[in-house]
Structures are given as C-alpha cells and as structure tokens.
C-alpha cells in the first residue's frame, strides 16, 4: 500500500561499475537512500514500498535500488519507491504474506520460498536437473517459465519482471566435508521453507530443518544445525564462512529470484507507468544475472582466503541416490506430467 511518511535525505549514489566486494558494499550503502525525497519537491502520485530478504551486499539489492531510481526519473517523479532490503520488513515468509495483502508493493523472493504458495515455482528446484546456465535460462525464459508465472499470479501477486539468479547451491559444513550421499546420513542441514528442499535432503538420508535466512547465521553459530546449502554469492554476503569450514561443490539445486508486484498497486498505475516499472525491473534482473556470473568466477578464491575449504562432490552418486529413493517419481506426480515434460524438454530425462 502507498507509504506517506518519507524522511528527507540526499540522492543515492550512481550504479557501481565493477563487481568487487568494495563496489557491492558501496552500492549497498546507498540502498536505504533509494527514492527518498530530496528538498521541497512535490509528493509523488504513487508512493510504494519494495522489500527483499537478501543481505545488503547481494547484487539483486544493488540492481533493484538502481531500478527504483530509474523508475522515479522515467515517471517524471510520479512514482517513488522506498527500498527495504535485508529483511527490514520481516522474514521471507512474512514478506510473502505482505506482497499478497498489500503490506508491500514489490518484493524480490526466492522461488524456493514462493513454492509454499505457488507449488510450480519449485519445479526449478528439482535436484540435479540443470547442467548449466544455458539450460536454466532456456527453461525459465521459455514455456515452463510462463507456466510458472501463470500459477504464481493465481495467488494474487503479479510477476513483474524476468527471473533473476539465486544461483546454483552448494552444501557447507562445519565438521566434515560432504562428498557423497553417505556423508549426509543423519546430517542436520538448514534448508529454506520449501517442501522440495526438505524432500531432497530426506531422500539423501539427511535431517533437514527449515529456517528463514535471517536466522541462519545464528543457527549455525549455536550448532542448531550442522550445515546449510546456498550459492557462493549468498555464502559470502551472509558471512557463512565465519561459522562453516567446508564447501562441497554439488550444484544440487538452482534457485530463481522472482520479482513480484501487488496486484492492486500495479493496477493503480496507468498503462504507461506499468510499462516503465516492468521495463526497469526487467533490466535489473538481466543485469543481476550478469553480475552473478562474474561474481561466481571470483568468489571461490575469496572464500578460500577467508578460510573455507572446497571439496569435489560425486554428483552422479547424489543423482542416483535421489532416483533410488523415488524423489524424481514423487515430484513428477506432484508437478504434473505436462509441466515435467516441459522441464525435460530442455534438461533431458530425469529418473
């Protein structure tokens, strides 16, 4: 819903040119200032909130902050968006409720979390489905991506941009490396609040626990769980390296970010302004994809320098373990034959 209480401040900084830890921090530092009114300017016609649960240094926050500034400029000041990153307005599950009720007007949310209300969003999380990013974007920008968006929009929220990249996920641990399914026997691993993540790790013999990301660091620090799984960008941004020792390069799941809009908030905008919003959020998603690709090529070395040890994983053994446990058969039935075939049309047979 519109927000009418805005403090005065100075303009946010311009987009960062290169992707280093320093440039991401600089971009993140500017985020709280995004689209906050300066001087005696007139009140915007449409005053909205944009929220994320991602850590400040995540590229998605930098790019969404830049998009909010561009939307204000392109709309001639008619749209003003206040940005609340890093779970400032609540956990991922809280924000998912707010985007549907109108508590926030725009939201970036992981597909894994979104699947709790739009189950088909979880088909992107099928274990060991994608071999590379070529397959990922062919799927998500293609027919299956359209089917997922259709189901999401039945929940009351609108998909207002292309999916962004929440990256391929790796398993981290504090006491031992995870190389094969046998290493996961009884292993207490944190997973997002998502049925398919829980199913995957139970199929591999682990003991998964669903915990919101804003509670993850403490859960690892206090040994409530033994380990977790996330992409390298999130591992670095969330300082997971401070409470974990090993990273197993499993690429076991790829997860999207979906950028959503509240249906009433979007409908309130004239068509021309809706087009501005969608165009700039699309640009943010595409730029974030490029950012993440670049970061993934440099983060491994940075994380090693911070004390993490990388381990090779037997991906084929994990996939065979899932197949033997009936994981693929179970989720094929849950997602439906047509949706499963749309996935296999890009990635090949999953069994």
Distance, in Å, from the CA atom of 342 to the CA atom of 348, rounded to the nearest integer, reads: 10
Q: Which residues pair with 171 in a beta bridge?
A: 229, 248
Going by C-alpha positions, the residue among 127, 114, 105, 91 that lies closest to residue 257 is: 114
Per-residue model confidence (pLDDT) at position 202: 98
Residues 6 or more apart whose Cβ sits within 8 Å of residue 254: 124, 125, 129, 130, 136, 166, 167, 168, 169
Per-residue model confidence (pLDDT) at position 34: 43
Q: What angle separates helix 337-347 from helix 133-140, to the nearest 10 degrees?
A: 140
Going by C-alpha positions, the residue among 57, 211, 125 that lies closest to residue 226 is: 211
Q: Which residues pair with 189 in a beta bridge?
A: 208, 227
Residues 6 or more apart whose Cβ sits within 8 Å of residue 260: 99, 106, 107, 108, 109, 114, 152, 157, 158, 159, 160
The number of CA neighbours under 13 Å toward the Cβ of 105 is: 22
Write down the H helix ranges in 52-171.
Answer: 59-74, 92-101, 111-114, 133-140, 143-153
Distance, in Å, from the CA atom of 241 to the CA atom of 196, rounded to the nearest integer, reads: 25
- Tokens found for residue 21: 């830890």
- Tokens found for residue 116: 């709790």
Indicate the pTM of the whole model: 0.86
Q: Which helix (H) or strand (E) holds 170?
A: strand 170-173
CA 307 to chain centre: 25
What Å distances lie between residue 274 and 62, 98, 271, 290, 326, CA to CA?
Answer: 22, 20, 5, 25, 44
Distance, in Å, from the CA atom of 225 to the CA atom of 209, rounded to the nearest integer, reads: 8
Give the Cα-Cα-Cα angle 266, 271, 276 (nearest 5 degrees). 80
Going by C-alpha positions, the residue among 71, 53, 203, 153 that lies closest to residue 113 is: 53
Q: Residue 257 phi/psi, 5° resolution?
A: -105, 135
Question: Which part of the chain is CATH 3.40.190.170?
Answer: 21-166+256-295, 168-253+303-347
Predicted confidence pLDDT, tens digits, the chain (351 residues)? 444 333 333 333 333 334 555 455 445 444 443 443 444 557 999 999 999 999 888 999 999 999 999 999 999 999 999 999 999 999 999 999 999 999 999 999 999 999 999 999 999 999 999 999 999 999 999 999 999 999 999 999 999 999 999 999 999 999 999 999 999 999 999 998 899 999 999 999 999 999 988 899 999 999 999 999 999 999 999 999 999 999 999 999 999 999 999 999 999 999 999 999 999 999 999 999 999 999 998 999 999 999 999 999 999 999 999 999 999 999 999 999 999 999 999 999 998
In this structure, what DSSP letter does residue 214 have?
A: G
- Tokens found for residue 89: 């307005």
Q: Residue 173 phi/psi, 5° resolution?
A: -150, 160
Q: Which residues pair with 227 in a beta bridge?
A: 173, 189
Which CATH number applies to 168-253+303-347: 3.40.50.10860, 3.40.190.170, 3.10.620.30, 3.40.50.1370?
3.40.190.170
Per-residue model confidence (pLDDT) at position 55: 87
- CATH code of domain 21-166+256-295: 3.40.190.170
- Tokens found for residue 290: 């490029």
Write down the H helix ranges in 260-310.
Answer: 263-267, 271-305
- Tokens found for residue 333: 């039935």
Per-residue model confidence (pLDDT) at position 60: 97
Going by C-alpha positions, the residue among 147, 114, 157, 200 that lies closest to residue 346 is: 147
Distance, in Å, from the CA atom of 274 to the CA atom of 160, rounded to the nearest integer, reads: 9
- Tokens found for residue 241: 């390296």
Per-residue model confidence (pLDDT) at position 21: 52
């Amino acid at each position: 819903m519109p927000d009418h209480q805005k403090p005065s401040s100075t303009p946010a900084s311009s987009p960062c040119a290169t992707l280093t830890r320093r440039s991401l921090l600089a971009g993140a530092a500017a985020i709280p200032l995004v689209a906050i009114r300066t001087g005696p300017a007139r009140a915007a016609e449409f005053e909205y909130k944009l929220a994320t649960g991602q850590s400040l240094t995540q590229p998605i926050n930098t790019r969404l902050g830049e998009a909010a500034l561009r939307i204000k400029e392109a709309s001639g000041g008619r749209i003003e968006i206040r940005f609340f990153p890093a779970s400032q307005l609540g956990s991922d599950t809280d924000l998912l409720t707010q985007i549907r009720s109108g508590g926030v007007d725009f939201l970036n949310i992981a597909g894994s979390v979104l699947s709790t209300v739009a189950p088909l969003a979880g088909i992107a999380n099928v274990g060991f489905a994608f071999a590379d990013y070529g397959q990922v974007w062919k799927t998500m920008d293609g027919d299956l991506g359209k089917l997922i968006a259709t189901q999401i929009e039945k929940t009351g929220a609108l998909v207002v941009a292309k999916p962004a990249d929440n990256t391929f996920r790796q398993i981290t641990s504090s006491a031992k490396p995870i190389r094969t399914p046998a290493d996961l026997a009884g292993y207490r691993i944190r997973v997002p609040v998502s049925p398919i993540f829980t199913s995957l790790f139970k199929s591999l013999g682990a003991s998964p626990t669903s915990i919101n990301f804003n509670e993850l660091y403490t859960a690892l620090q206090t040994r409530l769980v033994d380990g977790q799984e996330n992409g390298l960008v999130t591992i670095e941004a969330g300082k997971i390296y401070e409470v974990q020792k090993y990273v197993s390069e499993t690429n076991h799941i790829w997860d999207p970010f979906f950028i959503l809009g509240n249906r009433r908030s979007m409908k309130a905008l004239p068509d021309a302004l809706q087009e501005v919003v969608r165009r700039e959020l699309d640009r943010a998603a595409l730029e974030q994809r490029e950012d993440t690709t670049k970061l993934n090529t440099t983060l491994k070395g940075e994380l090693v320098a911070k004390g993490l040890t990388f381990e090779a994983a037997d991906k084929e053994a994990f996939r065979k373990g899932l197949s033997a446990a009936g994981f693929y058969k179970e989720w094929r039935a849950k997602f439906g034959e047509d949706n499963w075939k749309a996935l296999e049309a890009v990635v090949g047979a999953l069994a």
